[in-house]
Amino acid sequence: MTTRNIEVDLMARVEGEGALEVVVDKGEVKDVRLKIFEAPRFFEAFLKGRHYSEVPDIVARICGICPVAYQMSAVHAIESAFGMEVSETVRKLRRLLYCGEWIESHSLHVYMLHAPDFLGLDSGLELARSEPEILRRGLRLKKVGDRILTVLGGRAVHPVSVCIGGFTRLPQTNELRSLLDELHWAREAAKETLAWVAGFEMPDLSPGYTFAALSGNVYPMNEGAITVSRDGTAHDMSCASDGFEGHFKERQAPYSTAMQCLLDEKPYLVGPMARLNLNAASLRPVVREALAEAGVELPLVNPYHAIIARSAEVLQAVDEAIELIEDYEGLGTGPGEPYRPVTPKESVGTAVTEAPRGMLYHRYALDADGRVVEANIVPPTSQNQARMEADLWQMIPSILSLSDEALAAACERVIRCYDPCISCATHFLRLKRVAA
């Protein structure tokens, strides 16, 4: 029997060390455990007693790559608890803010963290040496997203203008229009990116996913119903955000300190591939055309195709951002009130928005003064952990003949398909074989 331990050092919303343990007996895989050793962060605990107005800035600190997602889920949940509706201007600006986050997060992952896997490179730095113009394109795309966050949110990391009821400040028309030149460039660059990644040679792996994402009249960012599909096309289940905990259950894996979330006791997939499959009808025409030109057919069912889905969503976000800015009719300091007044009440509110990596659930119970009594946050990485483990179960038997180093690299590539924010380390997997 051979035991292999693969350590995952840095993962999104996970601090500390992790390990992948593969137990093989007489050539048969007996166990696969994706272990995550998470230093306690206590966000849900130290939100207790906080005033509702503090929550968006606190939860933004959960992630430096996707702070907008945490802010948006929080404000939507608290606004739901208070029975609030925001203005159409605020709704559109929140979508624009989300566009910025998708652009910067997806571009970083596609170019710096994931593309090297398909090009035989060890890192984005090697891509800089071998294909400097390609990497420059990726970094410039990311900068376009960062700029949107800065103009709307005050800064690219942990934006400070988001508040319950709207924004603390609405942008001036000329501030938004100053983004258009780069966004028009970005639209062409995103088309090129999609064509580029669609040409990558990808391993064949089709685990048979259950997909979960928001779905509605528009491509989901911060609105839509939770939708589940077992083939990527038919919608097998749909519920509002307040039904999340009735269907999706977190559990504590006995071999890991991290939570895993299951749907009907089974793994499921959230993220760009799930969104793309379940919302193909809501894709913007430029995205549908680019996918067709690249020879990409939906649904996508191979985890390695996630890089295609992310690239398609960059184009989706860029094109929508252009439309939102061109339609913005602000004068001076922008149209209307930046935020609507809040009337706290004892209540419970829930919300799900689509972080770059997938559905992000928030629930808040508040007292009559608007202070948090209880909070529950379920991030996309937690939802995808069991699915990553299941993919490895399926893949590893076919590669047991590989050396330790090659096996570790193959496992790393599968995990990186999910963009769980562990890829920022140059090497996050180390394999050690212990012969029994």
What DSSP assignment string belongs to 381-416? Answer: HHHHHHHHHHHHHHHGGGGTTS-HHHHHHHHHHHHH
Q: What are the domain boundaries of the chain?
A: 4-39+397-435, 40-396
Lowest mean pLDDT among 73-87, 245-259, 263-277, 359-373: 245-259
CB 97 within 8 A of CB 142: no
CB 257 within 8 A of CB 37: yes
pLDDT band at 18 (very low <50, low <70, confident <90, very high): low
Is it the case that residue 387 has pLDDT exceeding 60? yes
- Taking 70 as the threshold, does the pLDDT of residue 218 lie above it? yes
CA dist 286 to 113, 188, 320, 338, Å?
Answer: 26, 10, 10, 32
Point out the least confidently predicted range of 30-44, 229-243, 314-328, 368-382: 30-44
State mean pLDDT over 421-434. Answer: 36
The stretch 46-58 carries a mean pLDDT of 94
At residue 421, the pLDDT reads 55
What residues does 33 pair with on adjacent strands? 21
DSSP-assigned beta bridge partners for residue 435: 2
pLDDT of res. 424: 23
Q: Residue 255: what pLDDT?
A: 65
Looking at the chain, the whole-number percentage of residues with pLDDT higher than 90 is 63
Residue of higher predicted confidence among 357 and 26: 357
At a CB cut-off of 8 Å and minimum separation 6, what does 236 contact? Answer: 228, 229, 230
Mean pLDDT over residues 102-107, rounded? 96
pTM of the model: 0.90
- Look at the alpha carbons of 358, 285, 76, 214 in this order and tell me if their dihedral is positive or negative: negative
Q: What is the pLDDT of residue 435?
A: 42
Dihedral, CA of residue 286, residue 288, residue 291 and residue 296, to nearest 10: 180
pLDDT at residue 31 greater than cutoff 70: yes
306-326 vs 285-293: helix crossing angle, rounded to 10: 150
Say if CB 319 and CB 187 are below 8 A apart. Answer: yes
According to DSSP, residue 67 is labeled H
The SS3 assignment for 196 reads: helix
- Which residue in 380, 348, 354 sits closest to 366, CA to CA? 348
- Flag whether pLDDT at 422 surpasses 90: no
Q: What is the mean pLDDT of residues 247-252?
A: 88
Whole-number pLDDT of residue 347:
97
CB atoms under 10 Å from CB of 362, counted, come to 30
Structural contact between residues 229 and 235, judged by C-beta atoms closer than 8 angstroms: yes
- CATH number for the 40-396 domain, one of 1.10.580.10, 2.40.30.130, 2.30.110.10, 1.10.645.10? 1.10.645.10
What is the rounded distance in angstroms from the CA atom of residue 397 to the CA atom of residue 401? 9
Alpha-carbon span 78 to 86, nearest angstrom: 12
Give yes or no for residue 28 having a pLDDT over 80.
no
Q: What is the mean pLDDT of the chain?
A: 86
Q: Give DSSP secondary structure letters for 77-138.
A: HHHHHHT----HHHHHHHHHHHHHHHHHHHHHIIIIIIHHHHTT-SSHHHHHHH-HHHHHHH
Q: For residue 228, give both structure tokens.
A: 């589940």
**Mean pLDDT confidence for 386-391:** 91
Confidence label for 157 from pLDDT (cuts 50, 70 and 90): confident
pLDDT digits (tens, 9 = 90+) for 169-186: 999 899 999 999 999 999
Q: Which residue has the tokens 């730095």?
A: 125
As a whole number of angstroms, the distance between CA 160 and CA 63 comes to 14
pLDDT at 436: 41
Closest CA to 337 of 69, 160, 88, 149: 88
pLDDT score at 124: 83
Mean pLDDT calculated for residue range 155-179: 92
Question: 95 is written with which tokens?
Answer: 């979508």
**Residue 152 confidence class, pLDDT cut points 50, 70, 90:** very high
User: Each residue of 286-341: pLDDT tens digit?
Assistant: 999 999 999 999 999 999 999 999 999 999 999 999 999 998 865 334 456 899 99
3-state secondary structure of 211: strand
